[in-house]
């Protein structure tokens, strides 16, 4: 549940985040991305800024930011470097599942620790054989006394190596039809108090083309015991709906990351176009470049408006799967578009690792894939269109 924030509060928060991004995030992006090095100092700063509790309700120690302010924070971070946003985005999707679907005891026990960043993590839904079709997962949890025993493999799990908790989607009934009624979601602490991975869990970092520096891993559960107290909501059978219920906010987040990438690529391009000369004038005076900049700028603004529309509906607790889907689809494609156009504007230098534009290009495509691919988004939009306009 979000708190009420005045316009002055919003401006103060965005000013604080803006200074942090300009002074701390932007200057290290290139080095950490290229070395694929985890930005531990940024995590410490994120804790101080309250980012790990950004959308967690004040009752549970968070800031309770509305999605509309939160999205602007995400855009600002991604306009400098998309990857660190994943450290608190995926974490907050996990927190949102617990806040929306957990029992009161679970919320009191888990959320304050997540809000401070003592517990940090993400969501473990995807498996080697199941991404878009999440109901096809094979990981199981079998009841054994007061515990459940988890077996199975998750893949592409962000924050799993440097974090210490996950919301894990499993099958508690492999025969159940419809399939989603056989799923459950568990809150799992993956490490002991000294930071060692618990027995029964194996975490292996994956190599990626972009979204570097942030850990995305395979997570294997081998007879891992989790207390039945950590079955989110306390009842089996709702895991799939609990997981996808948080995706509206997740999609607004990804849209914001796409818009941030687009904004960052545009900013770099506007600058470079004025610095670079060809045929006796700066390339910004060539109409072919102006057409690119004009198109990029219009798409960035359209992305912001779609995000704002989805976020406002989300904050008003109205159904917004269509709006969040449109924002996610359009803003992430705009991220790819602007990064590609930026590459063209930078010409051969776009291929040099000395310039930041190549990072935006490598990072952009992920936004079209995560939180439901853009193919799935258009299907969701179309289904909603038909449902809302039945003849
Ligand atoms: C860097 C990175 C980080 C990630 N982080 C996480 C994470 O933290 N947690 C997590 O759980 N997952 C994570 N993921 C996984 C991500 O959510 C999935 O990759 C995504 O949902 C797509 O699933 P898939 O890769 O299995 O593709 P598939 O589902 O196999 O899809 C392949 C293609 O088929 C299309 N397709 C599939 N079904 C349909 C359909 N019904 N109609 C039309 N087209 C269809 C898709 O759109 C896509 O084009 C991450 C992925 C990456 C790359």
Question: In CATH, what number is assigned to the domain containing residue 194?
Answer: 2.40.110.10
Best substitution site from 131, 139, 208, 239 to test ligand 1's pocket, by max atoms within 8 Å of Cβ?
131
Is pLDDT of 175 > 80? yes
What is the pLDDT at residue 255? Answer: 98
Q: Phi and psi at residue 194, in whole multiples of 5°? A: -95, 5
Same-domain pairing of 266 and 373: yes
Same-domain pairing of 104 and 137: no
Dihedral (Cα; 367, 372, 378, 384), 10-degree rounding: -130
Assigned domain for 142 exists: yes
**Ligand 1 atom closest to Cα of 373?**
47
**Domain CATH code at residue 86:** 1.10.540.10
The 10s digit of each residue's pLDDT in 96-109 is: 999 999 999 999 99
What is the pLDDT at residue 163? Answer: 98
Is pLDDT of 202 > 80? yes
pTM of the model: 0.96
124, burial (CB in 10 Å: exposed 0-12, middle 13-18, buried 19+): buried
CA distance linking residue 298 with residue 180, whole number of Å: 41
Assigned domain for 33 exists: yes
The 10s digit of each residue's pLDDT in 203-261 is: 999 999 999 999 999 999 999 999 999 999 999 999 999 998 877 889 999 999 999 99
The last residue of one of the domains, among 61, 93, 116, is 116
The residue among 246, 216, 209 whose CA lies nearest residue 372 is 246
The 10s digit of each residue's pLDDT in 6-51 is: 999 999 999 999 999 999 999 999 999 999 999 999 999 999 999 9
Residue in the block written with tokens 């026990």 = 109
CA distance linking residue 343 with residue 350, whole number of Å: 5
Same-domain pairing of 58 and 99: yes
The last residue of one of the domains, among 116, 133, 156, is 116
The residue among 31, 10, 30 whose CA lies nearest residue 76 is 10
What is the pLDDT at residue 247? Answer: 78
Q: What is the mean pLDDT of residues 154-162?
A: 98
Eight-class DSSP state of 132: S
CA distance linking residue 147 with residue 368, whole number of Å: 38
- Local confidence band at 1 (pLDDT 50, 70, 90 cut-offs): low
Nearest-CA residue for ligand 1 atom 16 is: 370
The last residue of one of the domains, among 71, 87, 116, is 116
Q: What is the mean pLDDT of residues 144-169?
A: 98
CA of 269 to the centre of ligand 1 (A): 30
**Domain CATH code at residue 309:** 1.20.140.10
* Parallel, antiparallel or unpaired: strands 147-158 and 216-227: antiparallel
Nearest-CA residue for ligand 1 atom 3 is: 156
Same-domain pairing of 331 and 207: no
Same-domain pairing of 105 and 131: no
**For all residues of the chain together, what is the average pLDDT?**
97
Q: Got the DSSP string for 136-197?
A: G---EEEEETTEEEEEEEEEEEETTTTSSEEEEEEES-SS-SSGGGGEEEEEEE-B-TTSPB
Eight-class DSSP state of 128: T
Is pLDDT of 312 > 70? yes
Same-domain pairing of 73 and 143: no
CA distance linking residue 381 with residue 116, whole number of Å: 36
Same-domain pairing of 226 and 207: yes
Assigned domain for 1 exists: no
Same-domain pairing of 32 and 158: no
- Local confidence band at 313 (pLDDT 50, 70, 90 cut-offs): very high
What is the pLDDT at residue 246? Answer: 77
Residue 371 annotated as catalytic: yes
What is the pLDDT at residue 41? Answer: 98
Total domain count for the chain? 3
Assigned domain for 2 exists: no
- Local confidence band at 267 (pLDDT 50, 70, 90 cut-offs): very high
CA distance linking residue 253 with residue 217, whole number of Å: 21
Assigned domain for 239 exists: yes
Q: Got the DSSP string for 227-281?
A: EGGGBTTSSTT-HHHHHHHTHHHHHHHHHHHHHHHHHHHHHHHHHHHHH-EETTE
Ligand 1 first shell, C-beta below 6 A: 90, 122-126, 131-132, 156-158, 208, 211, 216, 366, 369-370, 373, 375-376, 379
Same-domain pairing of 181 and 285: no
Which residues constitute the domain of residue 73? 7-116
């Amino acid at each position: 549940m979000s708190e009420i924030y005045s316009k002055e509060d919003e401006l103060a928060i965005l000013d604080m985040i803006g200074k942090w991004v300009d002074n701390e995030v932007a200057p290290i992006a290139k080095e950490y991305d290229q070395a694929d090095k985890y930005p531990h100092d940024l995590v410490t700063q994120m804790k101080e800024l309250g980012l790990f509790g950004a959308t967690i309700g004040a009752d549970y120690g968070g800031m309770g930011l509305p999605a509309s302010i939160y999205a602007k924070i995400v855009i600002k971070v991604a306009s400098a470097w998309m990857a660190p946003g994943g450290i608190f985005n995926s974490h907050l999707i996990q927190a949102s599942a617990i806040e929306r679907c957990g029992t009161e005891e679970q919320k009191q026990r888990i959320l304050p620790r997540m809000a401070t960043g003592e517990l940090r993590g993400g969501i473990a839904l995807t498996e080697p054989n199941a991404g878009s079709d999440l109901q096809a997962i094979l990981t199981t949890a079998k009841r054994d006394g007061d515990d459940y025993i988890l077996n199975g493999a998750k893949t592409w799990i962000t924050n799993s190596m440097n974090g210490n908790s996950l919301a894990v989607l499993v099958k508690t009934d492999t025969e159940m039809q419809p399939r989603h009624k056989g799923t459950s979601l568990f809150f799992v602490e993956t490490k002991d108090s000294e930071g060692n991975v618990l027995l029964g869990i194996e975490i292996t970092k994956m190599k990626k083309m972009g979204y570097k520096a942030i850990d995305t891993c395979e997570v294997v559960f081998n007879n891992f015991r989790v207390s039945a107290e950590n079955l989110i909501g306390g009842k089996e059978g709702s895991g799939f709906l609990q997981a996808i219920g948080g995706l509206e906010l997740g999609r607004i987040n990804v849209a914001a990351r796409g818009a941030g990438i687009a904004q960052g690529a545009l900013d770099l391009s506007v600058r470079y176009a004025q610095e670079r000369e060809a045929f006796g004038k700066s390339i910004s005076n060539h109409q072919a470049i102006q057409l690119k900049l004009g198109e990029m700028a219009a798409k960035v603004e359209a992305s912001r408006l779609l995000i704002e529309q989805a976020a406002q509906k989300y904050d008003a607790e109205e159904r917004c799967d269509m709006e969040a889907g449109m924002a996610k689809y359009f803003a992430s494609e705009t991220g790819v578009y602007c990064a590609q156009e930026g590459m063209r504007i930078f010409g051969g230098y776009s291929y040099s690792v000395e310039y930041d534009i190549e990072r935006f290009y490598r990072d952009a495509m992920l936004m079209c894939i995560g939180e439901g691919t853009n193919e799935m988004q258009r299907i969701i939009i179309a289904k909603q269109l038909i449902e809302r306009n039945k003849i």
